[in-house]
Amino acid sequence: MAEPLILGIETSCDETGIALVRGYDLLADVTASSMDEHARYGGIIPEIASRAHLESFVPTLDATLEKADVDLSEVDAIAVTAGPGLVGSLTVGVSAAKALALALNKPLYGVNHIIGHIAVDELVNGPILENSVGLVVSGGHSSLLKIGNIATEVEELGATLDDAAGEAFDKVGRLLGLPYPGGPHIDRLSKEGDRTAIRFPRGLVGGRHKEKHQYDFSFSGLKTAVARYIEGLEEAGTELPVTDIAAGFSESVADVLSSKAIAACETKGTDTLIIGGGFSANSRLRELITERAQKAGVTVRIPPIRYCTDNGAMIAALGSALVRAGVSPSGLGITVDTGMP
Ligand code: KG4
Ligand code: ZN
């Protein structure tokens, strides 16, 4: 018998993502983004994002069904992001998912977006081993996870105490006068700079942080350090060494993320590190983590970038894992949880 067909729905931020997965096979995955509408404000405007989800939902669903050449009635279960994310955005997806589950009389699973960023790797690189470490880095989250079983046993080892990695990049991008989102621009500029020219601080590393915040991150102090550095030069009337600032800043973030992720693998006795989230596109993070993982005998799994940014495939993949593990559906009573751990 064919494995169940799972419809995945993601609307936690600015992307309306809908996908169909059967087992480990991705049949179709369509994403509509409202990023262009937010860019001129220099950040996501929640009300604009919610309305865009409402407008995009049905066309995105239709496009997904058409692409997979399946009828809505063939869907066996529905998975939807229930958190974390923006309340209005989540509400559009969860309400739509409830309506579909009710109309089709099919089970509904409310799932965690951050775990979805790791689960999607199963569609590309095969089943996730029972003892892995996950690093999820994006504009909204920076978390380290210990994965016993992707469907039933995921523990958060640590997370950012303030800004997410991508958010810090976007804020420093603003300081440097770069367009929003600044992350990819800083990444590009950093390649032309000297990463040893300016040493910016590393957040929550060593000393008294070793025990309590061993796997937590903090990037807001780093952002302030960059701001002070820029202010100092501007006051002195000195031209900004933009590429060196970008390189030194990128080095600090990549150093902290990779050292904590590899340390988690070593402490937890795993040889597999799975990375997800849009920030995994960062070239210095990729370089450093690959280098350090090789030394530590750890295999790094990173899905192609289109599966690292927010999409429906990650939610359908997690739904598929839940169904496979025999987990009970959430039911129609689910609500959204903006701060879901
Ligand atoms: O996962 P994502 O597409 O959206 C969410 O935040 O959920 O991640 C986007 C974030 C933005 O903050 C963006 O600036 C950052 O990831 N980003 C990068 C790079 N590509 C995307 N930051 C640094 N280097 C990159 N190459
Ligand atoms: Zn995300």
ipTM: 0.98
- For residues 118 and 136, what is the distance between their CA atoms, to the nearest angstrom? 7
Segments of the chain scoring below 50 in pLDDT: none
C-beta contacts of 157-161 below 8 A and 24+ residues apart = 157/133, 157/215, 157/264, 157/268, 158/213, 158/214, 158/215, 158/216, 158/217, 158/260, 158/264, 159/216, 159/217, 160/216, 160/217, 160/218, 160/219, 161/204, 161/213, 161/216, 161/217, 161/218
Mutation pick for ligand 1 pocket among 138, 188, 302 (CB with most ligand atoms within 8 Å): 138
DSSP per position, 283-325? HHHHHHHHHHHHHHT-EEE---HHHHSS-HHHHHHHHHHHHHT
Residue ranges, CATH 3.30.420.40, the chain: 5-120+311-324, 130-305
- Ligand 2 centre and the CA of 318: distance in Å? 14
- For residues 142 and 129, what is the distance between their CA atoms, to the nearest angstrom? 22
| CATH dotted code for 130-305 | 3.30.420.40
Q: Whose CA is nearest to atom 18 of ligand 1?
A: 183
Which ligand does the CA of 257 lie closest to?
1
Report yes or no on whether pTM surpasses 0.90: yes
- For residues 62 and 57, what is the distance between their CA atoms, to the nearest angstrom? 9
Q: Whose CA is nearest to atom 21 of ligand 1?
A: 279
Of residues 271, 176, 262, 168, the one with CA closest to residue 215: 262
Q: pLDDT at position 39, please?
A: 86
CATH of 5-120+311-324, one of 3.90.1150.10, 3.30.420.40, 3.40.50.700, 3.60.15.10: 3.30.420.40
Q: Is 17 in the pocket of ligand 1 (CB under 6 A)?
A: no
Measured from the Cα of 310, ligand 1's closest atom is 1
Q: pLDDT at position 117, please?
A: 97
Q: Is 89 in the pocket of ligand 1 (CB under 6 A)?
A: no
